[in-house]
Amino acid sequence: MSKKFHVSTTVNGDPVEFLCDSRETVLDVLRDRLSLTGAKEGCGTGDCGACSITVDDRLVCACLMLGAEAEGKSIETVEGIAAGEDLHPLQKRFIEYAALQCGICTPGILVAAKNLLEKHPDPTEEQVRYWLAGNLCRCTGYDKIIRAVMDTAAEMREAS
Amino acid sequence: MSVAKSLPHDAARLHVTGAARYVDDIPTPADTLHLAFGVSTIARGQITAMDLAAVRAAPGVVAVLTAEDLPFANDVSPSVHDEPLLSDGAVHYMGQPLFLVVASTHLAARKAAHLARIDYAEETPILTVEDALAANSRFEEGPRIWEKGSATAAVAAAPRVVSGLFEIGGQEHFYLEGQAALAEPQEGGDVIIRSSTQHPTEIQHKVGEALGIPMHGVRVETRRMGGGFGGKESQGNALAVACAVAARLTGRVCKMRYDRDDDMIITGKRHDIRIRYRAGFTEDGDVLGVEFWHYLRCGWAQDLSLPVADRAMLHSDNAYCIPAMRIESHRLKTNTQSATAFRGFGGPQGMVGIERVMDHVAHDLGIDPVALRQRNYYDALGEGGLSAPRASATHPPEGISQEKKDNLTPYGMAVEDFELHGMTARLLESAAYDARRAAVADWNASNDVIKKGLGFSPVKFGISFTLSHLNQAGALVHVYQDGSIHLNHGGTEMGQGLFQKVAQVAASRFGVDLEAVKITATDTGKVPNTSATAASSGSDLNGMAVKAACDTIRDRMAAHLAELHQCAVAQVRFDRGAVHVGAEVMSFAEAAHACYLGRVSLSATGYYKTPKLSWDRLRGQGRPFFYFAYGAALTEVAVDTRSGENRILRADILHDAGASLNPALDIGQVEGAYVQGAGWLTTEELVWDERGALRTHAPSTYKIPACSDRPDVFNVSLWDGQNREETIYRSKAVGEPPFMLGISAWLALSDAVAACGETYPALDAPATAEALWHAVRRVRDA
């Protein structure tokens, strides 16, 4: 078997170390080595967004980044969005608005939407639509997703 | 009561925290094995030599299986045993599984699968409709033909006639969760399967055959799917059977999931279809007769193609009472993926056929396409019935023929619940149709580059499996002595919210909060002999079965409590978490405990079978459907005539879910279905090359709608009627019917292109930007 890489990184605020093969993606590492299965493999080619995570606050597809490249980085996944039992406003709105059906695209969409609101607290609807255009959903038709993101943004602006 | 409330999806909190487990997320032992198929690289021929030495020698490979290594049945067909798990020597399509790699990791299995050296005696594949007709390559002995009256004579005698021929492409399901299965070997040769399937009983059946054991040795569990859409009705069989066989061989847990490319290359899709039509009509727009010829490419194996093609025929009338109709359906066998179930199950294809005819007739006569449709609608009958919604009192608009129609479908079923007159009137009003029709005409008169279009389409969709025996369901309900309730039924959850809707039924029957009801995974060990969660039937069938089980327990509890407190059974009420027994009031938990102490059985099964069905598919006569679900949509689009690029500007939808069990979930179904239907007819294009290779096998080349494609304005409402038939709380099925509302988007694009000249645009589907660019030129140059 090929050489293993020893990687030290931060996942959802916790220091994490793992060994991985040269070909393993961050998605493989998260799912198979760290038991964080919230990020999903929808296509494996960076087209569907189901594996969206942030790396040093940058939105990436975990299937397109190698595990070895995570050295020294800070990774955030869907599992880190809620503060313990307290859901993030986006998560609450997604439930309230029925902005999910089968739920398998939901983790990626939430990671992407949270990243958008951190960078652009007052997005236009068009901005939301194009920011999330890389996150495919086959169930909902997107309308409730966009409304949930827009209304969460408004709510968070008022709260801050 | 819990029913009729807009409660969130039962797993919503798990979904948003990433804690919802799909098959690939279930923790497995460290020595779990992973599987991958080696697939054919030609579309048709015979394998002359298969050298798997390099596959076996590849890192991590534990075993490699061919057809000869399978211990028992080599078949994963849901119908006629024509679908070997692994090729028996013949190759029927490019992507067909030939051998199975069992390895230590998913990646190791996939990499090894590419190392085989296979020699073929290649034959010329049958790929197109022409190829198949020339070779008489088909399922069934010849075309299926159904007829009402004499359509040929009616068309010949009609004052005006239009005819045409057009193609409607297939559609990839693109469930975000690919096919997946997991097999855990048990003592004594038994096996537990966890499968992302809409049909656990079918998986159980096929695994039993493959292992040479009775169905009782196989338990299949399905908690949830990451989308199904019909693509997991039969297409999961291969993975589950492969895992079961490998688990039996190795004694280890075996898991298989298709990579997206493999999934798209191996599994079946929506049937594409070529439709030829001739329609005769009067100068006023009364359609007198229509002839259809359907040519479906079914792919290499029969799978579910016969009922799919039947359902296309069954929806060739859609909402229109046409005095004479003839439908000739050819089910062609081709060397491509075996086309399978997909939301609507052939209904959408048939419906596009008649909507095309209506569009063409309206264009030919130069009359408003909505008025033409209303004129040809079935009559609204049965005013003032038991539960007639207020729509039934709505009369057709003025100028519409008042002559009574026979209201018989081309297959002889009386349409007794027609809702579309009232629905259409309300939609046109809420969407300001007349004003916007005028505004679009004004826009097009003064703009040469961007053309706008409006499209209206109604839906009348038949509800029930056309294979009548499938219309049955079972449930298992336990009440524990602390008052908590365990709910199980044969339906599967793929995102549609079935589990929540059925839990709402259970909570309502016991008069408790939803929190008292535990929703549990579909399990062949709890409810046997289930039908696929398909045909939109999930809530109808399982809701009624659960109601029956709950009522059995409730009646037992009431009888015991009445005796205990010396009151009449009729004086026992279950309401808002309490049980009223005469003058006594106790909590549901106290009541349950009292019944336990009184030695009352608190567990029951429930069963339901749909009434009133009788269907002869060979003659095409009878009542295949319990009732119809209705919908109507109006879509406005803009097309850039220089590039064909286009946008949906606005969609207005009114959909009939009867007395909705959960309006939030039902509206979600309507919205998602519309977008998926519009995707099918606009951007989703499947392309096979001349060798039979599917060239669009990833989201990079196959375009499903994205967030940026959503209509700018999207108004969706439910028609607040009640089902006239006695369904669960008078609700209606909602999974498939709104898919066909997407036809309005395709008609709107046609309308925009028609504004470029005088000729009828005659669009094929999907109307991609490229196709629209060509259509604009065709119309302009004519």
Residue extents of the structural domains in chain A: 4-80, 89-159
pTM for the complete prediction?
A: 0.97
Q: Report, as an integer, the average pLDDT of B227-250.
A: 98
**Gap from A121 CA to chain B (nearest CA, Å):** 19
Beta-bridge mates of residue A39 = none
Residue B565 has pLDDT above 70, yes or no: yes
Residues of chain B with pLDDT > 70: what percent?
97
CATH numeric code, A89-159: 1.10.150.120
Closest residue in B to A21 (Cα–Cα)? B107
Residue B386 has pLDDT above 50, yes or no: no
Residue B337 has pLDDT above 90, yes or no: yes
Mutate: best of B176, B647, B665, B713, partner A, most A CBs <10 A: B176
Between chain A and chain B, how many beta carbons pairs sit less than 8 Å apart?
Answer: 182
Q: Mark yes or no for CB contact A39/B18 under 8 Å.
A: yes
Q: Mark yes or no for CB contact B16/A106 under 8 Å.
A: yes
Q: What is the pLDDT of residue B403?
A: 73
Which pLDDT band holds residue A39 (cuts at 50, 70, 90)? very high
Q: Mark yes or no for CB contact A98/B673 under 8 Å.
A: no
Which pLDDT band holds residue B710 (cuts at 50, 70, 90)? confident
Instruction: Check if A110 contacts B (Cβ < 8 Å).
Output: yes
Instruction: Check if B713 contacts A (Cβ < 8 Å).
Output: no
Closest residue in B to A102 (Cα–Cα)? B495
Q: Mark yes or no for CB contact B260/A45 under 8 Å.
A: yes
Pick B176's closest partner by Cβ from A90, A110, A138: A138
Q: How far apart are CA B674 and CA A141, in angstroms?
A: 7
Residue B390 has pLDDT above 50, yes or no: no
Q: Report, as an integer, the average pLDDT of B508-529.
A: 98
Q: How far apart are CA B267 and CA B244, in angstroms?
A: 19
Q: Report, as an integer, the average pLDDT of B22-29.
A: 98
Q: Mark yes or no for CB contact A47/B698 under 8 Å.
A: yes
Closest residue in B to A143 (Cα–Cα)? B710
Which tokens sit at B375? Answer: 């004129």
- Whether the predicted interface score ipTM is above 0.90: yes
Residue B532 DSSP one-character state: P
Instruction: Check if A22 contacts B (Cβ < 8 Å).
Output: no
**Gap from B771 CA to chain A (nearest CA, Å):** 23
Identify the burial level of A158 via C-beta atoms within 10 angstroms of its C-beta, where 0-12 means exposed, 13-18 middle and 19 or more buried. exposed
Pick B260's closest partner by Cβ from A44, A104, A146: A44
Establish whether domains A4-80 and A89-159 are of one fold. no
Q: What is the pLDDT of residue B392?
A: 41
Q: Mark yes or no for CB contact B17/A36 under 8 Å.
A: no
Q: Which helix (H) or strand (E) holds B36?
A: strand B33-39
Q: Mark yes or no for CB contact B259/A44 under 8 Å.
A: yes
Mutate: best of A132, A139, A146, partner B, most B CBs <10 A: A139
Check if the beta carbon of residue B236 is closer than 8 Å to that of residue B197. yes
Q: What is the pLDDT of residue B393?
A: 41
Residue B382 has pLDDT above 70, yes or no: no
Indicate the Cα dihedral angle B673, A47, B494, A84, nearest 10°.
-120
**Gap from A160 CA to chain B (nearest CA, Å):** 23
Mutate: best of B697, B700, B707, partner A, most A CBs <10 A: B707
Give the 3-state DSSP-derived string for B545-595, with helices as H, strands as E and coil as C: HHHHHHHHHHHHHHHHHHHHCCCCHHHEEEECCEEEECCEEEEHHHHHHHH
Residue B388 has pLDDT above 90, yes or no: no
pLDDT one-digit tens code per residue, B57-102: 999 999 999 999 999 999 999 999 999 999 999 999 999 999 999 9
Instruction: Check if A53 contacts B (Cβ < 8 Å).
Output: no
Q: Mark yes or no for CB contact A95/B13 under 8 Å.
A: yes
Residue B364 has pLDDT above 60, yes or no: yes
Instruction: Check if A104 contacts B (Cβ < 8 Å).
Output: yes
Pick A100's closest partner by Cβ from B15, B107, B494: B15
Strands B472-479 and B603-609: antiparallel
Beta-bridge mates of residue A19 = A6
Best CATH choice for the domain A4-80 from the list 3.30.300.90, 3.40.50.1820, 3.30.2130.30, 3.10.20.30: 3.10.20.30
Residue A75 DSSP one-character state: E
**Gap from B176 CA to chain A (nearest CA, Å):** 5
Task: List all residues of chain B from 518 to 547 with a beta carbon under 8 Å from chain A.
Answer: none
Q: What is the pLDDT of residue A2?
A: 66
Q: Mark yes or no for CB contact B699/A23 under 8 Å.
A: no
Q: How far apart are CA B165 and CA B431, in angstroms?
A: 32
Mutate: best of B17, B31, B697, partner A, most A CBs <10 A: B17
Cβ contacts (< 8 Å) between A133 and chain B: which residues? 706-708
Check if the beta carbon of residue B635 is closer than 8 Å to that of residue B748. yes
Q: What is the pLDDT of residue B400?
A: 53
Beta strands in B578-666 (DSSP E): 578-581, 584-587, 603-609, 614-616, 621-623, 627-640, 646-656
Residue B383 has pLDDT above 90, yes or no: no
Could you list the active site residues of B? 736
Provide the sign of the torsion angle of the four alpha carbons B757, B759, B765, B770, taken in this order.
Answer: negative
Question: What 3-state DSSP class applies to A151?
Answer: helix
Q: What is the pLDDT of residue B381?
A: 77
Q: What is the pLDDT of residue B593?
A: 98
Q: Which helix (H) or strand (E) holds B326?
A: strand B324-332
**Gap from A153 CA to chain B (nearest CA, Å):** 17
Q: Report, as an integer, the average pLDDT of B238-246.
A: 98
